[in-house]
Amino acid sequence: MFATLSDRLTSTFKNLRTKGRLSEADIDATVREIRRALLDADVAVPVVRSFTGAVRERALSAEVSAALNPAQQIVKIVNEELVAILGGDTRTLNMAKNPPTVILLAGLQGAGKTTLAGKLALHLKSQGHTPLLVAADLQRPNAVTQLQVVGERAGVPVFAPHPGNQGSDDVLPFGADPVGVARAGLETAHQRQHDVLIVDTAGRLGVDADLMQQASDIRDAVSPDEILFVIDAMIGQDAVTTAQAFADGVGFTGVVLSKLDGDARGGAALSVASVTGRPIMYASTGEKLTDFEVFHPDRMASRILD
Ligand code: GDP
């Protein structure tokens, strides 16, 4: 995903290698190149501005380290600033003192929430947790079935209403009430001693008031320990406005970038944490349940500058 950005930055640094000492003009020229590379990669303008401002200031005031040549010093500064905009330290899930830990997934339709629910459940299961998935996306006809398929693949149980199954013993009295499903899912997790509850919610194609209200109602019903905002990295510049709308409308504690395996230019990945002040916690990198990574800002920065 970051191939172009990575090439652009690397060639910028290459031009510095022959320099013995960097003048202010050299630093300004380098910062301009970095700015263009970031803008071309779809990084949000305010993020580019603060990033290049920080790099310039630090490069101008950098103590000359005998161990590093000027190019290496700039690379080091850019690396540290990339880590910072990607959220700093790797953040792990905030686990509840009294289980179950409740994780709510929010995001637009097609962002990858249902897929992510299965990936996260599998990941947590492999760490010895006993997750329960809850199908509170009742908007799309197939969403419940899709979560059940994903749960089966992950070997994790799914709590879901069966609206078309009237008369059977496992009919749940919710109709199309996602808040009721989420609440009953939480009760079930308590009863069956699941230590983590992952609640999949409905998305819409665009941000709208109903979507925000429903996600907020579910949030209030289950008091999540984490609200993970799932964003499709392929949506480019729109990622930032969407993220901001969810931050204002529902609030979230962490970001999951999905479809990082695609050929987007990477700007979403580089902007969302910085604009919302919430860390990227996981990356989704494909359609298989194992295409999933804990997000490490330092490793991502090194990958970009490799
Ligand atoms: P939801 O509407 O937010 O629940 O999104 P889904 O989980 O249904 O995902 C929408 C589509 O994107 C599905 O076809 C998924 O298989 C696909 N998808 C989800 N995550 C990824 C990913 O990381 N990479 C790729 N390439 N496809 C993904």
252 Cα–ligand 1 center, Å: 20
For the cut 70, the answer to whether the pLDDT of residue 175 exceeds it is no
- What integer pLDDT is reported at residue 148 of this predicted model? 95
For the cut 70, the answer to whether the pLDDT of residue 172 exceeds it is no
- What integer pLDDT is reported at residue 22 of this predicted model? 83
How confident is the model over 63-117, as pLDDT tens digits? 656 667 888 889 999 999 999 999 999 999 999 999 999 999 999 999 999 999 9
Establish whether residue 244 lines the binding site of ligand 1, counting it when its CB lies within 6 angstroms of any ligand atom: no
Concatenating the DSSP letter of every residue in the chain gives --HHHHHHHHHHHHTTTT-SS--HHHHHHHHHHHHHHHHHTT--HHHHHHHHHHHHHHHHH----TTS-HHHHHHHHHHHHHHHHTTSS-------SSSPEEEEEE--TTSSHHHHHHHHHHHHHHTT--EEEEEE--SSTTHHHHHHHHHHHHT--EE---TT-TTSTT--TTTT-HHHHHHHHHHHHHHTT-SEEEEEE---SS--HHHHHHHHHHHHHH--SEEEEEEEGGGTTHHHHHHHHHHHHT--SEEEEE-TTS---SHHHHHHHHHH---EEEEE-SSSTT-EEE--HHHHHHHHH-
Query: pLDDT-derived band of residue 56, with 50, 70 and 90 as boundaries?
Result: very high
Annotated binding site: 107-114, 200-204, 258-261
Average pLDDT, whole number, for the chain? 90
- What integer pLDDT is reported at residue 184 of this predicted model? 94
Establish whether residue 201 lines the binding site of ligand 1, counting it when its CB lies within 6 angstroms of any ligand atom: no
Which one is predicted more confidently, 83 or 166?
Answer: 83
- Give the ipTM: 0.99
- What integer pLDDT is reported at residue 65 of this predicted model? 63
Pick the residue whose CA is nearest to atom 10 on ligand 1: 110
Establish whether residue 110 lines the binding site of ligand 1, counting it when its CB lies within 6 angstroms of any ligand atom: yes
263 Cα–ligand 1 center, Å: 15
Which one is predicted more confidently, 269 or 44?
Answer: 44
Query: pLDDT-derived band of residue 174, with 50, 70 and 90 as boundaries?
Result: low
For the cut 90, the answer to whether the pLDDT of residue 170 exceeds it is no
Atom number in ligand 1 closest to CA 260: 23
Establish whether residue 180 lines the binding site of ligand 1, counting it when its CB lies within 6 angstroms of any ligand atom: no
Q: What is the mean pLDDT of residues 182-188?
A: 96
76 Cα–ligand 1 center, Å: 35
How confident is the model over 115-146, as pLDDT tens digits? 999 999 999 999 999 999 999 988 877 889 99
For the cut 70, the answer to whether the pLDDT of residue 265 exceeds it is yes
- What integer pLDDT is reported at residue 63 of this predicted model? 64
Establish whether residue 119 lines the binding site of ligand 1, counting it when its CB lies within 6 angstroms of any ligand atom: no
Q: What is the mean pLDDT of residues 249-258?
A: 95
Establish whether residue 259 lines the binding site of ligand 1, counting it when its CB lies within 6 angstroms of any ligand atom: yes
Establish whether residue 107 lines the binding site of ligand 1, counting it when its CB lies within 6 angstroms of any ligand atom: yes
73 Cα–ligand 1 center, Å: 40
Establish whether residue 12 lines the binding site of ligand 1, counting it when its CB lies within 6 angstroms of any ligand atom: no
Atom number in ligand 1 closest to CA 115: 7
- What integer pLDDT is reported at residue 138 of this predicted model? 86
Establish whether residue 118 lines the binding site of ligand 1, counting it when its CB lies within 6 angstroms of any ligand atom: no
Pick the residue whose CA is nearest to atom 9 on ligand 1: 112
77 Cα–ligand 1 center, Å: 35
- What integer pLDDT is reported at residue 66 of this predicted model? 63
- What integer pLDDT is reported at residue 238 of this predicted model? 86
